[in-house]
């Protein structure tokens, strides 16, 4: 489903001379109230068989005129809304088909689209192309025009279900109508609409009616209701809705409701078994999945968080200038957060993780394991407790595993899932589904995995279970920690040994963490080696602050006069410190303080102060060690004397975006001279201006240009920044804490 862009459709205020609502209840009345509130000056008419509703609508100022006969008002309107009960739509449509004038457009508000479509086809022989079936996802327990609420549709979704031959102009006008009321528009097929609504609306109402009815028939019902707490009140509130309306809905959407009810009954049976058997892990798994899903629902409503990034248009306005001073701790290391969940879930026993990154990518990994039956507590203030199920204890998820924007999750999951007994599909957001996955799929196939990919070797990946994997010796064609990790994880499920040779060193978190979980990985020069058939043992993981996140502040302090910043508890794994090495070679002042080891990983506090940077030829051996940090390193280069040259960086072409091209385009907007080559870029440092740049949905590019504003001669506007939440959910706030000025706004604001 795809939400349409509100800003691109003209308002109904300027194009519809008259509107007729047939059925002056809560929904129709609220639509009229919203239009009036928005300044609609055209004539509004209402048709209702109840004269009291018509009179009340006129007294409330919702309609100019009304009555029981729709023919009396059709000559004066261009748009007609059917807000009558589902079972009454067909006869009204039959009458409209005879009386409708050229150019008039019709829509409805019914909650069961298949039944309505079938009725119309039966009455008219087809669905007219001037009819746009729709359904606002909004309501209240009160009914009648007296309950009309002008804000009922604001920030709520309206689903439209056009047919293949629906008139595009009719569709545009109906979507414009709802946008004028403040609603968000989504398009679904009729069948998909009914499936979704059966589960998210019809089933909850059915259960509420059933529970209240059951308790109301008890002998001690007065005490039951007297002592019922808020949870009972909240859950059963919807049982106060119109019984006749809901009877008609269940009759109209019977098959989809019965299917949803069967799924619910299976879930209740599973929970009953867990309670009866005292199975605490099973109960925790069910409750934690439900709790996370409920929080996710809250985020959906506020459009804040993961799995809704594609529907959010977030923009940064980074003010020119600022300072960088203080002591801060950036979020936990994303690479380690992913791996701690993966290995903890596959371990025997309980694993406790501290410092877990509560960003979109890591949460997607966590949720994927919940969907495969792993009981996980948290995250709570960075603490996660994982009740491992062992290497062979995962269960088949009900549907595809959604991995958000996380390329790490996609590639590492491919290795883990290749060894399972069940089929699974891996998918992600639009950005992730554009990234090539052949680099993991091809070597996994050499091990015996069966993997289907989308067009061009891209996600979704469908991995067939039950395959016998065999270890391989594999030479990586280019340095990639994700591909190496994928093959090592698959190697746990393979017979024999798996060896991966790297053309250059890459981050070794997987090897270190496997060893920490009791599964040894040996290393000889450039080859990592693992034997199949072992096991993992749960334990404690302390995730240090992510050096990739710290990199933005390392550069920010380095380029800002007077800066003095300390970054606390940062991971300084030797395979990750390319950014420090490169900045130091450019002249940066970076001190490593209080060096220590935490959960097998080296950690330090980093003190960085302003220094005059100079351009360098970036050493080839440092490129793999700083592959994620180059967007912000390009900003350092733009502030250095002379030219900085990068080569041997083809990997940057296949990250979340083509980072070389995307950064070059943005630097050019700011007036930074640069020359792109196939495997790198030359950047000439100097003064630069402000401007508007595109991040292309790449979180690291968005944050890099926010840092650039510290030395720009004007403000920098950065578009498409929602995915910053994948790795650094509190970046704007933390930037503000040290003296930067990064404002988060919705695009178009």
Q: Let me know how many helices (H) and strands (E) the chain has, helices first.
A: 24, 32
> How much is the pLDDT for 215?
75
Tell me the residue range of the domain where 373 lies.
335-542
> How much is the pLDDT for 263?
87
Q: Is residue 205 part of a domain?
A: no
Same-domain status, 381 and 506: yes
Highest mean pLDDT range out of 27-31, 225-229, 466-470? 466-470
Which CATH number fits the domain that encloses residue 235?
1.10.3660.10
pLDDT tier, 568 (very low <50, low <70, confident <90, very high otherwise) = very high
Same-domain status, 606 and 718: yes
Q: Is a pLDDT exceeding 70 seen at residue 539?
A: yes
Taking the alpha carbons of 524, 526, 532, 538 in that order, is the dihedral positive or negative? positive
> Which of 154, 188, 222 delimits the end of a domain?
188
Q: Is residue 236 part of a domain?
A: yes
What does the pLDDT average to over 558-581? 95
Q: Is a pLDDT exceeding 50 seen at residue 621?
A: yes
Q: Please give the residue that has the higher pLDDT: either 490 or 504.
A: 490
What does the pLDDT average to over 378-399? 91
The predicted-structure confidence for 171-187, as pLDDT tens digits, reads as follows 999 999 999 999 989 99
Same-domain status, 183 and 256: no
> How much is the pLDDT for 385?
93
CA dist 472 → 2, 445, 465 (Å): 42, 11, 19
Q: Is a pLDDT exceeding 90 seen at residue 426?
A: yes
Q: Is a pLDDT exceeding 60 seen at residue 310?
A: no
What does the pLDDT average to over 609-627? 94
> Which of 516, 542, 568 delimits the end of a domain?
542
Binding-site residue set for phosphoenolpyruvate: 334, 407, 435, 482, 659, 700
Q: Is a pLDDT exceeding 70 seen at residue 79?
A: yes
Same-domain status, 255 and 360: no
The predicted-structure confidence for 651-682, as pLDDT tens digits, reads as follows 887 666 789 999 999 999 999 999 999 999 99
Q: Is residue 84 part of a domain?
A: yes
> How much is the pLDDT for 231?
67
pLDDT tier, 1 (very low <50, low <70, confident <90, very high otherwise) = very low
Q: Is residue 313 part of a domain?
A: no
Task: Tell me how far apart the alpha carbons of residues 89 and 123 are, in angstroms, rounded to a whole number.
Answer: 10
> How much is the pLDDT for 309?
36
Same-domain status, 178 and 222: no
Which CATH number fits the domain that encloses residue 74?
3.40.50.720
The predicted-structure confidence for 453-503, as pLDDT tens digits, reads as follows 988 889 999 999 999 999 999 999 988 889 999 999 999 999 999 999 999
Q: Is a pLDDT exceeding 60 seen at residue 303?
A: no
Q: Is residue 5 part of a domain?
A: no
pTM: 0.64
Q: Give the mean pLDDT of the chain.
A: 88
pLDDT tier, 230 (very low <50, low <70, confident <90, very high otherwise) = low
Asked if residues 556 and 606 have their Cβ atoms less than 8 Å apart, the reply is: no
> Which of 188, 220, 238 delimits the end of a domain?
188
The predicted-structure confidence for 363-375, as pLDDT tens digits, reads as follows 889 989 998 989 8
Binding-site residue set for 3-phosphoshikimate: 334-335, 339, 480, 482, 628, 655
Active site residues: 628
Same-domain status, 389 and 449: yes
Same-domain status, 103 and 230: no
Same-domain status, 339 and 416: yes
Q: Is residue 98 part of a domain?
A: yes
Q: Is a pLDDT exceeding 50 seen at residue 307?
A: no
Ordered DSSP codes for 592-626? EEEEEEETTEEEEEEEEE----B--B--GGGTGGG
What does the pLDDT average to over 545-559? 95
Range with the poorest average pLDDT among 53-57, 411-415, 652-656, 678-682: 652-656
| Total count of domains within the chain | 4
Q: Is residue 326 part of a domain?
A: no
What does the pLDDT average to over 176-201? 89
Task: Tell me how far apart the alpha carbons of residues 125 and 119 are, in angstroms, rounded to a whole number.
Answer: 9
Same-domain status, 227 and 117: no
Ordered DSSP codes for 488-508? HHHHTTSBSEEEEE-SS----
Q: Please give the residue that has the higher pLDDT: either 84 or 747.
A: 84
492 Cβ contact partners less than 8 Å away, ≥ 6 residues apart? 391, 419, 519, 530, 532, 533, 534
What does the pLDDT average to over 26-43? 91
Same-domain status, 137 and 174: yes
Binding-site residue set: 334-335, 339, 407, 435, 480, 482, 628, 655, 659, 700
Asked if residues 508 and 319 have their Cβ atoms less than 8 Å apart, the reply is: no
Q: What percent of the chain has pLDDT over 90?
A: 59
Q: Is a pLDDT exceeding 90 seen at residue 41?
A: no
> How much is the pLDDT for 9?
45
> How much is the pLDDT for 304?
41
Same-domain status, 576 and 552: yes
> How much is the pLDDT for 141?
63
> How much is the pLDDT for 748?
47
Q: What percent of the chain has pLDDT over 70?
A: 91
Q: Of 360, 439, 332, 333, which is closest to residue 655 (Cα–Cα)?
A: 439
What does the pLDDT average to over 509-537? 94
Contacts by residues 562-565 (CB-CB < 8 Å, ≥ 24 positions apart): 562/323, 562/325, 562/610, 563/323, 563/324, 563/325, 563/608, 563/609, 563/610, 564/324, 564/325, 564/607, 564/608, 564/609, 564/610, 565/324, 565/325, 565/326, 565/327, 565/328, 565/607, 565/608, 565/609, 565/738
Which CATH number fits the domain that encloses residue 665?
3.65.10.10
pLDDT tier, 305 (very low <50, low <70, confident <90, very high otherwise) = very low
Q: Is residue 6 part of a domain?
A: no
Q: Is a pLDDT exceeding 60 seen at residue 299?
A: no
> How much is the pLDDT for 14?
66
Range with the poorest average pLDDT among 92-106, 337-351, 607-621: 92-106
Same-domain status, 19 and 139: yes
């Amino acid at each position: 489903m795809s939400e349409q862009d509100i800003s691109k459709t003209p308002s109904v205020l300027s194009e519809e001379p008259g509107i007729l609502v047939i059925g002056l209840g809560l929904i129709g009345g609220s639509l009229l109230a919203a239009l009036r509130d928005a300044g609609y000056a055209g004539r509004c008419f209402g048709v209702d068989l109840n004269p009291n509703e018509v009179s009340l609508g006129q007294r409330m100022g919702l309609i100019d005129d009304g009555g029981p006969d729709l023919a009396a008002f059709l000559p004066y309107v261009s748009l007609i809304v059917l807000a009558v009960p589902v079972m009454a739509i067909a006869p009204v449509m039959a009458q409209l088909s005879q009386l409708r004038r050229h150019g008039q457009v019709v829509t409805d508000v019914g909650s069961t689209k298949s039944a309505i479509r079938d009725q119309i086809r039966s009455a008219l022989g087809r669905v007219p192309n001037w009819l746009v079936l729709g359904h606002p996802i909004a309501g209240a327990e009160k009914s009648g025009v007296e309950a009309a609420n002008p804000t009922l549709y604001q920030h709520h979704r309206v689903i439209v279900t056009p047919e293949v031959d629906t008139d595009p102009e009719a569709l545009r006008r109906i979507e414009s109508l709802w946008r004028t009321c403040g609603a968000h528009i989504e398009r679904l097929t009729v069948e998909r609409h009914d499936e979704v609504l059966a589960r998210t609306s019809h089933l909850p109402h059915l259960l509420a009616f059933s529970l209240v009815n059951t308790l109301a028939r008890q002998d001690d019902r007065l005490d039951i209701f007297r002592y019922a707490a808020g949870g009972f009140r909240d859950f059963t509130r919807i049982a106060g809705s119109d019984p006749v309306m809901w009877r008609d809905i269940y009759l109209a959407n019977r098959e989809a409701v019965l299917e949803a009810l069967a799924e619910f009954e299976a879930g209740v049976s599973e929970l009953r078994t867990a309670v009866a058997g005292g199975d605490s892990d099973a109960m925790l798994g069910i409750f934690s999945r439900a709790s996370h899903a409920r929080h996710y629902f809250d985020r959906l409503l506020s459009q804040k968080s993961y799995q809704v990034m594609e529907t959010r248009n977030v923009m940064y306005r980074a003010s020119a200038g600022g300072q960088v001073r203080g002591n801060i701790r950036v979020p936990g290391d994303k690479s380690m957060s992913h791996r701690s969940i993966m290995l903890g879930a596959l371990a025997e026993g309980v694993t406790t993780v501290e410092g877990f990154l509560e960003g979109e990518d890591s949460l997607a990994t966590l949720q994927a394991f919940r969907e495969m039956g792993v009981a996980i507590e948290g995250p709570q203030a960075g603490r996660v407790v994982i009740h491992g199920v062992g290497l062979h204890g995962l269960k088949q998820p009900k549907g595809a595993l959604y991995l958000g924007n996380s390329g790490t999750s996609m590639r590492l999951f491919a290795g883990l899932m290749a060894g399972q007994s069940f089929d699974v599909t891996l998918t992600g957001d639009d950005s992730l589904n554009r990234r090539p996955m052949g680099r993991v799929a091809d070597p996994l196939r050499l091990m015996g995995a069966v993997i289907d990919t989308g067009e061009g070797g891209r996600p979704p990946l469908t991995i067939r279970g039950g395959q016998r994997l065999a270890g391989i010796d594999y030479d990586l064609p280019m340095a990639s920690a994700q591909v190496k990790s994928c093959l090592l994880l698959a190697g746990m499920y393979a017979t024999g040994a798996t060896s991966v040779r790297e053309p250059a060193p890459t981050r070794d978190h997987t090897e270190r963490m496997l060893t920490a979980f009791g599964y040894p990985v040996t290393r000889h020069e450039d080859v990592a080696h693992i034997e199949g058939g072992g096991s993992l043992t749960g334990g404690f993981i302390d995730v240090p602050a992510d050096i990739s996140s710290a990199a933005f502040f390392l550069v920010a302090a380095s380029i800002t006069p007077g800066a003095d910043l300390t970054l606390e508890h940062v991971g300084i794994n030797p395979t990750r410190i390319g950014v420090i090495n490169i900045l130091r070679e450019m002249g940066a002042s970076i001190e490593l303080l209080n060096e220590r080891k935490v959960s097998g990983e080296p950690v330090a506090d980093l003190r960085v102060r302003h220094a005059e940077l100079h351009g360098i030829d970036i050493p080839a051996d440092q490129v793999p060690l700083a592959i994620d940090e180059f967007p912000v390193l390009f900003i350092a280069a733009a502030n250095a004397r002379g030219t900085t040259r990068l080569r041997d960086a083809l990997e940057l072409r296949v990250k979340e975006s083509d980072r070389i091209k995307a950064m070059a385009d943005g630097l050019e907007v700011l007036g930074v001279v640069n020359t792109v080559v196939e495997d790198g870029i030359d950047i000439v440092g100097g003064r630069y201006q402000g401007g508007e740049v595109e991040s292309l949905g790449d979180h690291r590019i968005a944050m890099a240009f926010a840092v650039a504003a510290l030395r720009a001669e004007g403000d920098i506007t950065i578009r498409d920044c929602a995915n910053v939440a994948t790795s650094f959910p509190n970046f704007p706030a933390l930037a503000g804490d040290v003296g930067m000025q990064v404002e988060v706004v919705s695009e178009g604001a």
